[in-house]
Amino acid sequence: MNGYYAVLNKEYPNVNLVPFASKATNEAYANKRAEMYFNLAKAVRNGLYIDDPMLIEELTNTRFMLDKNDKYILMPKAELKLILNRSPDTADALALTFCDEDRLFEKRINKKEIRQYMRSILGDPED
């Protein structure tokens, strides 16, 4: 993994390496993978709409539990692969976008606020 990161980072200095097993920012989670998926779940509860049946299958089959330290942890990816008969790569990719908790989904917001937020990031599509 570090090899890909090194190559990408040379060309794109804003690429971040996110080891799924690394320490979570929030102490409630056993690792970064659990934290990202819980941030994603929060976004879905607050209005993020997912319209991809395979992605929905990956997300709804992902389970969590508490580890020996009473921290949230997700089922091992190998276990999920057995259930799905494939790797949950799309869910992992989406979860990576929630590596740092997105303040956009901290509370329910209206469509106008979402458009304003997206314009602030992407620019005005009319330009």
**Joined tokens for residue 82:** 């057995």
Cβ atoms of 38 and 29 within 8 Å: the answer is yes
- Cα 29 to its chain centre, rounded Å, is 14
Torsion of CA 97, 101, 106, 111, to 10 degrees: -20
Query: By mean pLDDT, which of 14-18, 58-62, 65-69 is the weakest?
Result: 14-18
Segment 85-120, tens digit of pLDDT: 999 999 999 999 898 765 545 555 566 766 676 677
Residue 96, domain extent = 2-122
Residue indicated by tokens 């990408």: 8
Higher-confidence residue of 92 and 127: namely: 92
31: in domain? yes
Determine the Cα–Cα distance for residues 27 and 101; give it in Å rounded to an integer: 14
Q: Which residues contact 16 (CB under 8 A, 6 or more apart)?
A: 99
Residue 114 included in any domain = yes
Look at residue 81 and tell me if it is in a domain: yes
Tens of pLDDT along 9-23? 888 877 777 788 889
Domain membership of residue 127 (yes or no) is: no
- pTM of the shown model: 0.73
